[in-house]
Amino acid sequence: MDVCKAIIWLLAIHFGRLDQILGERLQQQIGLLRLHCVLWTLQTSLDGPTLLSTLNYLVTATFVNFNPALVIGCSNILFGRTRVVDGKATIIQGMEQLTTAASMCYLQTLSHLMVIDPTSEVIEDTRGRYAEVFPRSTNPNEFQFSHILRIINWALRGHHPWEDQWEIEWESYKPPSNELITVAHALTNVTWIIKRTGGELVPDWILHFVLHSLSRSPLPPASVVTDCLSIIALNLDCDPLLPVTLGQRCVCI
């Protein structure tokens, strides 16, 4: 059992049902302990299965508590196991699943930070590191997380018309449920940022994602539908709740 789950499990045994008695204060304390546990694991563990388990936990989380160090922790795992030379990607053998999970958590935490603290120094720092690891000549198709990488690229440095390899299309996009949930929520954050900074229209590639998701049969998970409807509302200049309050998806940290 990895360290993160072990600590949470011991806390659950120790506190038992006290959360029902002590209420919100205890919930906050447990949430902070979970956050510290996740951060400690991301920053110190070198064990692949432990890191993967922690990332899989993090990607299902709704951020009641948040620390910008989460962005750094996720990016360190992604950047440290990925190399791009002359536009060709190399991932350390056996680390494909870990880098995919890290890319999802990086997108999730980065887009969240951009909404709650757009002037954070962490955003500028990670933008510089991203540019070093993934130069503009990178072919994102070589990554199994190519759609996630394209969204990260757009969020950090936008898109230029001559960079055709970074264009985002959704026709063949059929990800697992956890990835779809992460992408939908991140795109809601990106849309919120665009509208907040004076953008008049939501980019077509985001609206195409909405149409692609809502036309699926059966419909995607409820949180994806909620995020898609939020994007439509923002595009119509409505004022839905901040995206950070949406999508109570699984667990809170």
Q: Delimit the domains of the chain by residue range.
A: 3-252
- With cut-offs at 50, 70 and 90, classify the pLDDT of residue 253: very low
What is d(CA 112, CA 118) in angstroms, rounded to the nearest whole number?
Answer: 9
What is d(CA 68, CA 72) in angstroms, rounded to the nearest whole number?
Answer: 7
Please state the rounded mean pLDDT for residues 143-151. Answer: 92
Q: pLDDT tens across 212-241, in order?
A: 999 988 999 999 999 999 999 888 887 666
Q: What is the pLDDT of residue 250?
A: 41
Q: What is the pLDDT of residue 33?
A: 80
Q: What is the DSSP secondary structure assignment for residue 145, as one 8-state letter?
A: T
189: pLDDT strictly greater than 70? yes
pTM: 0.83
Please say whether the beta carbons of 231 and 187 come within 8 A.
yes
Closest CA to 214 of 230, 202, 225: 225
77: pLDDT strictly greater than 80? yes
- With cut-offs at 50, 70 and 90, classify the pLDDT of residue 65: confident
Q: Could you tell me which residue, 24 or 143, shows the higher pLDDT?
A: 143
What is d(CA 127, CA 136) in angstroms, rounded to the nearest whole number?
Answer: 13
Please state the rounded mean pLDDT for residues 199-224. Answer: 90
State the DSSP H helix or E strand holding residue 247, giving kind and residue range, or none if neither. none
- With cut-offs at 50, 70 and 90, classify the pLDDT of residue 137: confident
The H-assigned helical ranges of 159-221 are 177-196, 204-214
Evaluated on CA atoms 20, 2, 186, 128, the torsion sign reads positive
Q: What is the pLDDT of residue 158?
A: 80
13: pLDDT strictly greater than 50? no
Total Cβ atoms within 10 A of residue 246: 19
Q: What is the pLDDT of residue 23?
A: 58
